[in-house]
Structure 1
């Protein structure tokens, strides 16, 4: 895909959604961090249902840590892998309290040192909480990037590397959200909704649907 076509795709996505953000409910960087940890292999809707009950009761490292694994499990048991996630969240809270003054660090190195936080989670927090031009590549972004040929790669790391290289600076902060939402609601996995797609004429996917 040439840079002119890529620029037009991103321009249309921006015009359609000038101020995109995550669909996870949060009001602080800490709430976002916990929500993203919980969202692994789970839907944002499912996570929001859990955190909407949890956060009014406990939404700080100290308050969630005080719940303990068993107490936290009560709130997140409807989410996949809740046992492992409860342990990771409690340990993350302990580390935040003891090493970071209960503040979510604005540092990739420190974020990725937290239990349950990998590169993708760190990218989401750095981008959404702190405005970094990071691109967290999930299954939606991987699919959309390869299908449209916006940025092709054999794995999520390669797609992230390519996106960071080819996406102009003016789009980098928001492109993560545009591509996730596009993959979630339009360029869906089994049968993309090409007929209602705002970039259909620019997309290089060969097997477009009616």
Structure 2
């Protein structure tokens, strides 16, 4: 895909959604961090249902640590992998208290050192909470980037590096949100909704699907 077509795609996504936001509910960097940690292999809807009950009770490292692993499990037991996630949440809270004065660090290495926090989670926190032009590539973004030919790669890391290279600076802050929402609601995995896609004429996916 050439850079002119790529820019047109991004301009159209921006016009459609000038101020994209994560669908996770959060009000502080700590709430966002925990929500993203919980969202691995789970839907944002399921995470929001859990945190909407958890955060009014405890939404600080100290508050959640006081609940203990078993206490956290009671709030997140409807989320996949809740046992290991509860362990990671408690360990993360301890580290934030002991090493970062209970503040979520605006630092990639420090974030990735937290239990259950990988590169994708760190990218989301840096982008959404701190305004960094990072691009967190998940399965939706990986699929959309490859399918449209916007940025092709054989792994999520490959796609991230390609996007960082080819996406103009003016779009970098928001492109992660646009692509994830596009993959979640339009360019879905099994049967993409090409007939209602705002970039259908620019997309280079050869096997487009249209309603009969």
Work out the CA distance in 2 between the residues paired with 1:176 and 1:58. 29
Match of 2:55? Answer: 55
Q: Which residue of 2 aligns with 1:39?
A: 39
For the pair 1:142 / 2:135, whether they are aligned, the reply is no
Structure 1: 5+ residue runs without aligned partners? none
Could you list the structure 1 runs, at least 4 aligned residues long, displaced by more than 3 angstroms after superposition: none
**How many pairs does the alignment contain?**
210
Distance 2:118 2:21 in 1: 20
In structure 2, the residue matched to 1:175 is 175
Q: TM-score, normalised by structure 2?
A: 0.99
CA RMSD of aligned residues (A): 0.3
Spell out, residue by residue over 1:3-36, the C-alpha distance to the aligned partner (whole angstroms, 9 max, x if none). 0000000000000000001000000000000000
Structure 2 matches for 1:90-101, cutoff 5 A? 90-101=90-101
Aligned to 2:16: 16
Corresponding residue number in structure 2 for 1:72: 72
Secondary structure, aligned partner of 2:152: coil
1:188 corresponds to: 188
Unaligned runs of 5+ in 2: none
d(CA) in 2 for partners of 1:80 and 1:198? 33
Q: When the two structures are superposed, what TM-score results if normalisation uses the length of structure 1?
A: 1.00
Aligned-partner Cα distance in 2 for 1:113–1:158: 22
For residues 20 and 64 of structure 2, what CA distance do their matches in structure 1 show? Answer: 29
